[in-house]
Amino acid sequence: SEHRTERDKEAPPRPRPLHLTTSLFIRSIPPEVSKEEITALCRRYPGFLRVALSDPQPERRFFRRCWVTFDRSINIKETCWNLQNIRLRDIELSPVVNRDLCRRVRSVNGLTHHKPVVRNDIRLSARLVHSLDQRGGLWSGQVENRLPVGGTATDY
């Protein structure tokens, strides 16, 4: 057992798996509620990682959407239930468990994978990038038709 503890001390620390998370979605956050208030409220629960707010939406009276991310090791349904019963500035948050990313992948038509379709999509993307670069004067000093990374777009 001493040999194992020495090996553990020598091993470099592993990075946290940031993609292994689960989150709660809150549909409407009023403009008067700040991100700091939501963070302070959610920080009390184990596994809390971060809060993300959408931009205020004028057509929805400047209400925002909110995603609260937690570590996957916690019981997200219990945390959601606890937040259901809490009011922030007399506002019910009404969180729901956000669907897992793997369940949100939408299948596309098989036609999109054919070589001519992919080539056309790449060509259109290259035109768009070139147009935006010219408008912004981003690569004006570079040789014409050369991309800074990856060569030319005319290969496609």
Do 22 and 90 fall into the same domain?
A: yes
Q: Which domain holds residue 77?
A: 17-100
Is the domain of 31 the same as that of 59?
yes
Q: Based on the domain organization, do 28 and 86 belong to the same domain?
A: yes
Taking a C-beta distance cutoff of 8 angstroms, is the pair 72, 21 a contact? yes
Reading the block at residue 93, the tokens are 């948050």
Q: What is the pLDDT of residue 92?
A: 87
In tens, the pLDDT along 39-64 reads 999 999 999 999 999 999 999 999 99
Final residue of a structural domain among 61, 76, 100 = 100
Report pLDDT for 86: 87
Residue 59 shares a structural domain with residue 128: no
Q: Looking at residues 88-107, what average pLDDT do you find?
A: 79
Whether residues 45 and 115 share a domain: the answer is no
Confidence of residue 68 (pLDDT cuts 50, 70, 90): very high
Q: How confident is the prediction for the chain on average, in pLDDT?
A: 82
CA distance 90 to 69: 23
Reference 90, options 141, 33, 134, 27; nearest CA is 33
In this structure, the answer to whether residues 96 and 116 fall within a common structural domain is no
Please say if the pLDDT value at position 36 is more than 90: yes
pLDDT bin (cut points 50, 70, 90) of residue 126 is very high
Give the total number of structural domains in the chain.
Answer: 2
Does 39 lie in the same domain as 90?
yes
Contact present, 69 and 49 (Cβ < 8 Å): yes
Classify residue 99 as exposed, middle or buried by CB count within 10 Å of its CB (0-12, 13-18, 19+): exposed
By three-state DSSP, how is residue 109 classified?
A: coil
- Token pair of 78, please? 């219990």
The answer to whether residue 8 sits within a structural domain is no
Q: Which phi and psi angles does 84 have, rounded to 5°?
A: -60, -35
- Per-residue exposure over 2-18, b if at least 16 CB sit within 10 Å of its own CB, e if not: eeeeeeeeeeeeeeeee
Give pLDDT, residue 152.
58
CATH of the domain at 35: 3.30.70.330
pLDDT of residue 108: 76
Give the pLDDT score at 111: 81
